[in-house]
Amino acid sequence: GENVEQHPSTLSVQEGDSAVIKCTYSDSASNYFPWYKQELGKRPQLIIDIRSNVGEKKDQRIAVTLNKTAKHFSLHITETQPEDSAVYFCAASEAAGNKLTFGGGTRVLVKP
């Protein structure tokens, strides 16, 4: 089955700096890659997603890039703010059906 690796596990940045989280996946048939943000004690919330026919997608201060050849995708957060502090999860969807496999998560701390 699919295996998703996520790095780093923790990330501390100064407010205003950029944060980058990287994920790799194993199943070349995966075609859907969402990113979720989870604040302490809350539910995971989708912040952005990308499909295999697109190399990059941007939404205000967040962007995702996808390299299908290398089987990796990344989340970029620019101009970080304290409210960006949370755990971020990447995920990949197998080609058949709608089954998501999640990475291990990255705890991001934005220091004011």
Partner 1 sequence: DAGVIQSPRHEVTEMGQEVTLRCKPISGHDYLFWYRQTMMRGLELLIYFNNNVPIDDSGMPEDRFSAKMPNASFSTLKIQPSEPRDSAVYFCASSWTGNQPQHFGDGTRLSIL
Q: Which of residues 70-99 bind partner 1 (CB under 8 A)?
A: 89, 93, 97-99
Among 20, 49, 57, 63, binds partner 1 (CB under 8 A): 49
| 42 interacts with partner 1 by CB under 8 A | yes
Least distance (Å) from partner 1 to the CB of residue 45?
A: 7
| 43 interacts with partner 1 by CB under 8 A | yes
User: By C-beta, is 31 or 74 nearer to partner 1?
Assistant: 31
Query: How does DSSP assign 65-78, residue by residue?
Result: EEETTTTEEEEEE-
Strand partners, 66: 73
User: By C-beta, is 18 or 46 nearer to partner 1?
Assistant: 46
| 44 interacts with partner 1 by CB under 8 A | yes
Q: What 3-state DSSP class applies to 11? A: strand
Structure tokens of 44? 């995971």
Least distance (Å) from partner 1 to the CB of residue 11?
A: 17
Close Cβ partners of 53 (under 8 Å, ≥ 6 residues apart): none
> Rounded distance, CA 63 to CA 110, Å?
18
> Rounded distance, CA 5 to CA 12, Å?
19
Residues lying near partner 1 in the complex (CB under 8 A): 31-32, 34, 36, 42-46, 49, 51, 89, 93, 97-105
